[in-house]
A and B are shown apart, each in its own frame.
Chain A
Amino acid sequence: MRAADPIPACPVCALPAGAGDYCECGWVLRGPRRLGPVTDAVRADFDRRLAAATLEFDARAAALVSSVPGRFARWIRGGPPDRAQWATARRQAAVAADEAVDDSTARKEFAALLRGVAPGGQALLIEVVPEGIVVTRAVMGATGAPRYEADQPVRPWPDLVPGLSAHPEERLLQLAGGRGRPETAELRDRLDEALREPAAELAGAAAVLIVCGPAGWTLPEAVAGLCAELFPGARVLRVAGDAAAAGTGSIGRLTAAMPLLHGYGVIVATVDPVTGAVAAATQPLFAPGDAPGARASVTLRRFPGDRERATLAVAVDAAWSAEPQVVAVHTIPQPEPLYQVSAVLDPSGQVRFTEPPGIGEDSRPWTEVRACVPSAVDVRPAAVDLVCAIDLAGSHGQVARRKKLVSDLLGELAREYPESAAPRVSVIGCVDHRYEPGAESKAVVRGAPLGALDHAVRALAELRGDEIRYPEAASLEDLLYEAHRMLARARKAGRVGRLLLVAGRRPHPPALTVSPRPGAPLVQPCPKRYDWRDLTRQLGKAGVGTVAVADTLPMRAAKGGFWAETGADGLYSLPAATAQALGEDLGLLVREEQRPGLPLPALAQRRFDVDLRKESR
């Protein structure tokens, strides 16, 4: 048996000559027979026509690759094309790339394809580009945001088509269709091998998008066609190539440049103003449609009292109810109560923080960070109304010590709260009731209504002490009445009410009470019949937390009575009380053991210089 003769190939495009008279490239393979001998003139005519055809063929491929006329001159058979030939080549290249879409359209098509993938499903993106073939798997998250598995290996053309030139420039020309191309059957085998694994994993259930680019390049278009046969139903997109950029690295360009299907947000902690339950939420950072290169900023708050580094986690901004889909976990210093974070959206949905300095990657995964967040905290960083009520009767030193404690607390709040989120604070003080004719009806409470923190600081400084006029009791019930008036409706207004009472004596009862034991101390009732116990209970029902500080704490205070009831959320003796402890008990500062380690959202609050007279109506 005689060995098979090599299949004759087209002298222009190098494709095997078929049975037809013409090659795909238009070269006449079998013309009509000519009479007479093959003369030199005939041979010269053939050579001239062949040279013109190969030059036109290669020039067309060169025009597909680059708009620069002389870039591939050395690889064009027949030498560099003249102006007219190059113009013709450009026209032919344009025809070849006709109906191609641009990158933007391709991204939209891909986004549309992804939106059709159910959460947990997969999509396959096969990009046939000048470098080779790259298969990217997109796994749809529970929140509807895809996660690209970018570690898919690239199959370079030399692996797929061994006969290609080793020279990159000549290989580009070959890919575009110049200087011959490999045989399709061999290419199919190699392609089948390259895509077998992803095809098996997808099992035909996923959406497949085949992107071929630049459009018009002969070999990529052929490979794209073969891929389409491997994945029935796959959509093929021919993308117009950037002629100037071709060959400079476009692998994964589509996914890298994909806009965000869903926005990104910084994970913040929210605190239920009533229960204190902590939940994670996102503060918007990047919006849907933001493309790589986009810049964004978000303003965050630290938890009042928490000056440690916080976790700066970025998650897909969606209505997630379980675990967020976290795309980045960093840590950030929190030197100020309010700070701004700036970030750049990098390709493939990566986030890079640019401001403030000191942001570093967190070695912990999000699940570990989440596990450290307490389920509930005592602090209420939301809108808070705080009334600081002080007994102003006593020695100068003792009154000064009470005021100093409140001053320390207000100072701490000023350091820990941004102005826009600072509590509304009222500072009020009471002097003693005077059980004298004409003096009993006089007001004993003085101070400032709820207002800005700095106003409260000034009001505190203006409070003057007074001598003790009724040693057995202080007008604390009047303070409670005023506090109740200011705080009772706080919860309905979406605010959190808090009361701090700093005093030295017990209040007057609402009515003269007599002990069954003769000789027990008797205390005059409040001239206005205010009932401290009733007011305290009403404050409790209104959700107002109360902390009490007594000059000296009676031993029985822990069991019951005035101090125990008014100090339901915290009870201290004056020497033992600190601003930090009071702030924690009042829910104004976070306890160290309850630090969520996440930032708070910096919600803008309306100004709150509210006229109390209006509120009391």
Chain B
Amino acid sequence: MTTTMFGAGPGARRSMGRIGLWGPPGSGKTTFLAALNIAVLQSADKQIRLFGTDTDSTVFLKESTAMLTRDRTFPDATEAGKQLSWVLSMDQQIQVPTKLFGKKQSANVTVDLNLDLLDEPGRMFSDRPAEAADKDDDDSGLGFDSDDDDPVSQSPDNSAESVMDQLSGCNGLVLLFDPTREWEEGDMFNYFQGTLLEIAQRRMMGRAEAGGRLPHYVAVCVTKFDHPDVYRRARRLGYRSFSPYDPYLFPRVPDEFAEEFFVSLVREADKGNAELVPNALRRFFLPERIQFFVTSAIGFHLNKSSSRFQEADSMNLAPKPGGGHLIRGPIHPINVVEPLIWLGEHLAGGTR
């Protein structure tokens, strides 16, 4: 982990570790990143800023935000091996010792979370990259955030090695699961376990990690909550809730129930073994470092006539003439920035 200390008083800055983005094709990685900027700006209760550390990242931030808001389209699929590096800067209140062996006290610091996000094509994470590369795109039928589908132009082996190295070196992981893909393809576990084993090999061989487990913080994001099939199940199974502080009353699934909801979703799949994922995570990561989130990059449609979420008219996608889909209206990301905040809080807390 790389932690840079710039003091502990007002105006102090801390640079926390790296976050890796991990998910199978079509899980919404690119859109997640593109929506992050908007989510950051919409975040009311935190002083958060997001900016690129290089030109590519800044350009990506500009373009992907423009595509979502102006063009109402999804960002293009991830280019293979593209390295994006942002800084998520947030004001954090942390506990710091006033003197050696003295009592700790609260201090406001600005925490910079280096998002050297490894937005790699999803099939990089497959347990069978060569076979997976033959598979074509992800099509959920509604065009919900179909990214990560470009053929891998680089050498799969070299690229995979590089990505796995970087992932294993991250301090935190954002693991994206698309339940709609699991219903159709049932390949989530395959992508998951291949990568997990690669990371374990790199971090655990010859090292003594705390608790015998990998040290990463893992934010598991169940994506596409705005998809009617996903939302309907949240409502039907009783996981839906509303925040009284949300003026739009967008539905959410509380984080404490996100894992249960994830399991209930993947159980509906006719094939695949995604329900093994939670157990596999606990075997390899410390349970207290795992948190599930139910997220949506574009959020639900907000009807201007009502100014509140309306279940009957909640889909924020519409078919595009000639194929594909368009985002129907303004996007309202749900739980996009929160996983990163959670990671930032825990990484800044130094609980590694």
Stretch at the interface among B6-14, B89-97, B112-120, B326-334: B326-334
**A435-B318, A512-B228 known; A519-B141 Cβ under 8 A:** yes
A529 at the interface (CB under 8 A from B): yes
Query: Nearest-CB distance from A473 to chain B (Å)?
Result: 9
Which residue of B has the minimal Cβ distance to A525?
B313
Which residue of B has the minimal Cβ distance to A522?
B228
What is the total number of residues of chain B having a CB less than 8 Å from a CB of chain A? 24
| Residues 280-323 of chain B, each 1 if its beta carbon lies under 8 Å from chain A, else 0 | 00000000000000000000000000000001111100110100
**A436-B72, A519-B180, A521-B141 known; A512-B315 Cβ under 8 A:** yes
A512 touches B314 (CB 8 A): yes
B338 at the interface (CB under 8 A from A): no
Within 8 A of B (CB), among A443-502: 467-472
A511 touches B313 (CB 8 A): yes
A524 at the interface (CB under 8 A from B): yes
Which residue of B has the minimal Cβ distance to A521?
B141
A519 touches B312 (CB 8 A): no
B183 touches A471 (CB 8 A): no
Chain B residue numbers with a CB within 8 Å of A524 are: 313, 315, 318, 328
**A514-B229, A518-B180, A522-B228 known; A437-B321 Cβ under 8 A:** no
| Residue of B140, B228, B326, B330 touching A514 (CB-CB under 8 A) | B228
A333 at the interface (CB under 8 A from B): no
Query: Nearest-CB distance from B342 to chain A (Å)?
Result: 28
A347 at the interface (CB under 8 A from B): no
| Residue of B140, B231, B326 touching A519 (CB-CB under 8 A) | B140
Query: Nearest-CB distance from B179 to chain A (Å)?
Result: 8
Chain B residue numbers with a CB within 8 Å of A518 are: 180, 183, 229, 268
B142 at the interface (CB under 8 A from A): yes
A471 touches B319 (CB 8 A): yes
B321 touches A467 (CB 8 A): yes
| Residue of A436, A510, A512 touching B326 (CB-CB under 8 A) | A436
Chain A residue numbers with a CB within 8 Å of B228 are: 512, 514, 522
Chain B residue numbers with a CB within 8 Å of A521 are: 141
Query: Nearest-CB distance from A398 to chain B (Å)?
Result: 15
| Residues 13-27 of chain A, each 1 if its beta carbon lies under 8 Å from chain B, else 0 | 000000000000000
B128 at the interface (CB under 8 A from A): no
B313 touches A470 (CB 8 A): no
Which residue of B has the minimal Cβ distance to A393?
B321
A510 touches B312 (CB 8 A): yes
B141 touches A437 (CB 8 A): no
**A436-B328, A514-B228, A514-B229 known; A470-B319 Cβ under 8 A:** yes
A469 touches B321 (CB 8 A): yes
What is the total number of residues of chain A having a CB less than 8 Å from a CB of chain B? 22
Which residue of B has the minimal Cβ distance to A433?
B318
User: What CA separation (Å) do A272 and B66 show in the bound complex?
Assistant: 64
User: What CA separation (Å) do A520 and B180 show in the bound complex?
Assistant: 11
| Residue of B268, B311, B314, B326 touching A435 (CB-CB under 8 A) | B326
B150 at the interface (CB under 8 A from A): no
User: What CA separation (Å) do A520 and B140 show in the bound complex?
Assistant: 10
Within 8 A of A (CB), among B179-201: 180, 183-184
Chain A residue numbers with a CB within 8 Å of B318 are: 435-436, 470, 524
B321 touches A471 (CB 8 A): yes
Task: Determine the main DSSP class of B at the interface with A.
Answer: mixed
Chain A residue numbers with a CB within 8 Å of B231 are: 514
Which residue of B has the minimal Cβ distance to A515?
B229
A468 touches B328 (CB 8 A): no
A522 touches B321 (CB 8 A): no
A435 touches B183 (CB 8 A): no
Which residue of A has the minimal Cβ distance to B321?
A469
Within 8 A of B (CB), among A30-63: none
B49 at the interface (CB under 8 A from A): no
Chain A residue numbers with a CB within 8 Å of B142 are: 522
| Residues 161-180 of chain B, each 1 if its beta carbon lies under 8 Å from chain A, else 0 | 00000000000000000001
B232 at the interface (CB under 8 A from A): yes
Which residue of B has the minimal Cβ distance to A509?
B312
User: What CA separation (Å) do A435 and B318 show in the bound complex?
Assistant: 6
User: What CA separation (Å) do A520 and B142 show in the bound complex?
Assistant: 10
User: What CA separation (Å) do A521 and B317 show in the bound complex?
Assistant: 13
Chain B residue numbers with a CB within 8 Å of A511 are: 311-313
Which residue of B has the minimal Cβ distance to A472?
B319
Query: Nearest-CB distance from A507 to chain B (Å)?
Result: 15
Which residue of B has the minimal Cβ distance to A516?
B232
Most B Cβ at <10 Å: residue of A468, A470, A510, A518:
A518
B330 touches A437 (CB 8 A): yes
User: What CA separation (Å) do A471 and B180 show in the bound complex?
Assistant: 22
User: What CA separation (Å) do A437 and B326 show in the bound complex?
Assistant: 11
User: What CA separation (Å) do A436 and B313 show in the bound complex?
Assistant: 13
User: What CA separation (Å) do A471 and B330 show in the bound complex?
Assistant: 22
Query: Nearest-CB distance from A527 to chain B (Å)?
Result: 8
Most B Cβ at <10 Å: residue of A471, A512, A525:
A512
A435 touches B180 (CB 8 A): no
Chain B residue numbers with a CB within 8 Å of A467 are: 321
User: What CA separation (Å) do A524 and B326 show in the bound complex?
Assistant: 12
Chain B residue numbers with a CB within 8 Å of A470 are: 318-319
User: What CA separation (Å) do A524 and B330 show in the bound complex?
Assistant: 16
Which residue of A has the minimal Cβ distance to B233?
A518
| Residues 331-349 of chain A, each 1 if its beta carbon lies under 8 Å from chain B, else 0 | 0000000000000000000
Query: Nearest-CB distance from B343 to chain A (Å)?
Result: 30
Chain B residue numbers with a CB within 8 Å of A522 are: 142, 228-229, 315
User: What CA separation (Å) do A510 and B311 show in the bound complex?
Assistant: 11
User: What CA separation (Å) do A300 and B140 show in the bound complex?
Assistant: 65
Chain A residue numbers with a CB within 8 Å of B330 are: 437
User: What CA separation (Å) do A510 and B319 show in the bound complex?
Assistant: 18
Query: Nearest-CB distance from B38 to chain A (Å)?
Result: 15
Chain B residue numbers with a CB within 8 Å of A519 are: 140-141, 180, 183-184, 229
Query: Nearest-CB distance from A517 to chain B (Å)?
Result: 9
Within 8 A of B (CB), among A512-555: 512, 514, 518-522, 524-525, 527, 529
Query: Nearest-CB distance from A215 to chain B (Å)?
Result: 96
Query: Nearest-CB distance from A89 to chain B (Å)?
Result: 109
User: What CA separation (Å) do A529 and B313 show in the bound complex?
Assistant: 9
Within 8 A of A (CB), among B115-168: 140-142
Chain A residue numbers with a CB within 8 Å of B180 are: 518-519
User: What CA separation (Å) do A470 and B142 show in the bound complex?
Assistant: 12
Query: Nearest-CB distance from B75 to chain A (Å)?
Result: 19
Which residue of A has the minimal Cβ distance to B140?
A519
Query: Nearest-CB distance from B181 to chain A (Å)?
Result: 10
User: What CA separation (Å) do A510 and B231 show in the bound complex?
Assistant: 18
Query: Nearest-CB distance from B73 to chain A (Å)?
Result: 12
Chain B residue numbers with a CB within 8 Å of A469 are: 321
| Residue of B184, B268, B311, B329 touching A512 (CB-CB under 8 A) | B311
Within 8 A of A (CB), among B205-247: 228-229, 231-232
Query: Nearest-CB distance from A444 to chain B (Å)?
Result: 14
User: What CA separation (Å) do A522 and B183 show in the bound complex?
Assistant: 16
Which residue of A has the minimal Cβ distance to B314?
A512
**A436-B326, A518-B268 known; A529-B312 Cβ under 8 A:** yes
Within 8 A of B (CB), among A402-447: 435-437
User: What CA separation (Å) do A522 and B180 show in the bound complex?
Assistant: 13
Chain B residue numbers with a CB within 8 Å of A436 are: 72, 318, 326, 328-329
Chain A residue numbers with a CB within 8 Å of B311 are: 511-512
Chain A residue numbers with a CB within 8 Å of B315 are: 512, 522, 524
Which residue of B has the minimal Cβ distance to A471?
B319
The 10 A-B pairs at the shortest CB distance, nearest first, are namely A511-B312, A435-B318, A514-B232, A518-B183, A514-B228, A435-B328, A518-B229, A525-B313, A471-B319, A437-B329
7 extra A-B contacts, CB within 8 A, seeds A511-B311, A519-B141: A436-B326, A437-B72, A437-B330, A471-B319, A512-B314, A514-B228, A518-B268
User: What are 20 pairs between A and B in contact, CB < 8 Å?
Assistant: A435-B329, A436-B329, A437-B330, A467-B321, A472-B319, A511-B313, A512-B228, A512-B314, A514-B228, A518-B180, A518-B268, A519-B140, A519-B141, A519-B180, A519-B229, A520-B229, A521-B141, A522-B142, A522-B228, A527-B313
